[in-house]
Amino acid sequence: GNSVTQMEGPVTLSEEAFLTINCTYTATGYPSLFWYVQYPGEGLQLLLKATKADDKGSNKGFEATYRKETTSFHLEKGSVQVSDSAVYFCALSDRDDKIIFGKGTRLHILP
């Protein structure tokens, strides 16, 4: 079945550091891929998405590229801010329309 594996957290970085959160997936078809972010006390918000191979999703300085050859969708940001502290979820949706989430990676940014 479909699955998503993302790096364990927590990840702690200093402000302005470069961020990478790894995400790999297993899917039988050609899924859409997503990154969601959950701030403390809130629900999830869609951060970015990519619907086909080689697509790059981007939003708020975050980027992720759909790599079919490595079945990966790593999240990157060039310079993180304290306000980026949150839990980040990688997810996929296949044509059965269910969304499968990774377990989440907690990110702490130190001022």
Partner 1 sequence: KAGVTQTPRYLIKTRGQQVTLSCSPISGHRSVSWYQQTPGQGLQFLFEYFSETQRNKGNFPGRFSGRQFSNSRSEMNVSTLELGDSALYLCASSLAGSPYHYEQYFGPGTRLTVT
Min separation Cβ 21 and partner 1, Å: 15
Nearer to partner 1, 7 or 17 (CB): 7
Q: Which token pair is 100?
A: 């499968």
Binding site for partner 1 (CB under 8 A): 31-32, 36, 41-46, 49, 51, 89, 93-104
Residue number with CB closer to partner 1 (27 or 109): 27
Contact indicator for 18, 76 with CB cutoff of 8 Å = yes
Q: Which is closer to partner 1, CB of 69 or CB of 97?
A: 97
Cα–Cα distance between 36 and 74 in angstroms, integer? 12
Task: Report the nearest approach of partner 1 to the CB of residue 108 (Å).
Answer: 17
- Nearest approach, Cβ of 20 to partner 1 (angstroms)? 20
| Nearest to partner 1 of 23, 32 (CB atom) | 32
Q: How far is the CB of 14 from partner 1 (least distance, A)?
A: 26
Query: Both tokens of residue 59?
Result: 């939003």
DSSP labels, 33-90: EEEEEE-TTS-EEEEEEE-STT-EEEETTEEEE-BTTTTB--EEESS--GGG-EEEEE
